[in-house]
Amino acid sequence: MENLDVMVLRTLRDWRQAGKRALLTTVVRTWGSSPRPVGSIMALANDGAVVGSVSGGCIEDDLIARYSHAHGNGEDVPPGTPPALVKYGITADEAHRFGLPCGGTLELLLEYDPDAASLDTLVAELEKGRLMQRTVTLATGAVKLAEATAPDELKVDDAELTNTFGPEYRMLLIGAGQLAEYLATMAKFSGFAVTLCDPRAEYRTAWSLPGVHITTEMPDDAVLAFRPDRRSCVVALTHDPKLDDLALLEALQTEAFYVGAIGSRRNAEARRDRMIEHFDQTTESLARLRGPIGIYIGSKTPPEIAVSVMAEILAVKNAVTLPREVEVARAKGMQQLAMS
C-alpha cells in the first residue's frame, strides 16, 4: 500500500480534474487524546466518497452529512468560499457523540474545492520522491508549494497553515526468504516502499510478493544505490556475515532511522566483535546497530517474528522509547555512577 497522504491527494486531484466539488480536511490541533495525529488529512467528494481519515469514523460521518449530497442533505458551499476552522469535541457530550477518547478535542481546517492544478503539481513532485511543503493562506485559500529540506510538523498561525508531505518511507531488506516476505507484506500495508536485495538466485526463486523492487547487487552496493535517508530503514536477514556485515556498515554511515540484523543475542555480540576487530569499528560507531531485532513477544514462527520486527521499526519511526532503550540508558547511568 502506498503512502496514505499521496493516495488522498491523488484521489482529490482526480476528483477536482473531473469537475467534482470536494473538501480537503486537515487535523490542525488536538487537545487531550486524539484518534489521528496533527497533519492527518481526509478528502470528501460532493457525492459522499471519502479517502483518508481524521478520526475513528464519527467525525467523518458528520462531515459527509454536512458537506455531501450522498443522502440528499448536504450543504451547498458557494464556490470561492475561503477555508474554515472547525472544532469537534468541545463539550463532553460532543466528545461522546463523536467518539473522541477521554473527552479529547480536535480542530480541523476545511478547504473547499482545492485548486486542481496545484494538486496536480504537488502529487507529481511527491511521486518523484520529493519532500514538499504546502502552505494555505487562511483568508483566501491560496496555496503555495515549495520543496522542503527536512520533514517538519504542521505549522499554523492566524494567517496560514503549512503541512509537509512525503516522500514515503522506504525499507531495504537484505536476504530473500519467508521472513522477508512476511516483513515486506507488513511494511507495504504500513505505507513503506520496499526494496529486496539478494544476489543468491536460489533464494529469489520462491519470492512471490508483487510490488517489491528486487535487486541482485551485492548488499553493500545495494545500500549505496538505495541512498538511505531519515525516512529509510535497512534490515539484514541473511545470517551470512559476507552479505550482512558490509551492508550494515554502509547503512550506519547514512541517516537511516533504523539499521538492524536478525539473529540471536550471541550472534549479535559476535557481529559487533567482528566489526570492531576487522573493520575498525568502536562501540560508539555501532551504537545505532540493532540486534537482535524485534520486540520480544515470544515469537518462534516467521510471521510472528515479522510482527515483532515491524513493531520495533514502527516504534522507532514514531519515536517511542522501547524497553531495550530503557535498559541501555539505565546501564549507562550505572556505569557512569560507578566511574564517578
Q: What is the pLDDT of residues 252-267, one digit of tens each?
A: 999 999 999 999 999 9
| Domain boundaries, given as residue ranges, for the chain | 4-165, 169-327
Element (H, E) at 61: helix 58-67
Task: Say whether pLDDT at 325 is over 70.
Answer: no
Residue from 72, 67, 156 nearest 109 by CA: 156
Q: Helix (H, G, I), strand (E, B), or coil: what is residue 195? A: strand
- 16-20, 28-32, 59-63, 332-336, range with the lowest pLDDT: 332-336
* CATH of region 169-327: 3.40.50.720
Predicted local confidence at residue 311, as pLDDT: 96
253 backbone dihedrals φ, ψ, rounded to 5°:
-85, 0
Q: What does the pLDDT look like over 126-160, one tens digit per residue?
A: 888 788 999 999 999 999 999 998 778 899 999 99
- Cα–Cα distances (Å) from 277 to 87, 185, 197, 254, 280, in that order, read 59, 36, 26, 22, 6
Predicted local confidence at residue 33, as pLDDT: 64
Q: What does the pLDDT look like over 277-292, one tens digit per residue?
A: 999 999 999 999 999 9
| Beta strand 232-236 pairing with 169-174 | parallel
Q: SS3 string of 199-236?
A: CCHHHHCCCCCCCCEEECCCHHHHHHHHCCCCCEEEEE
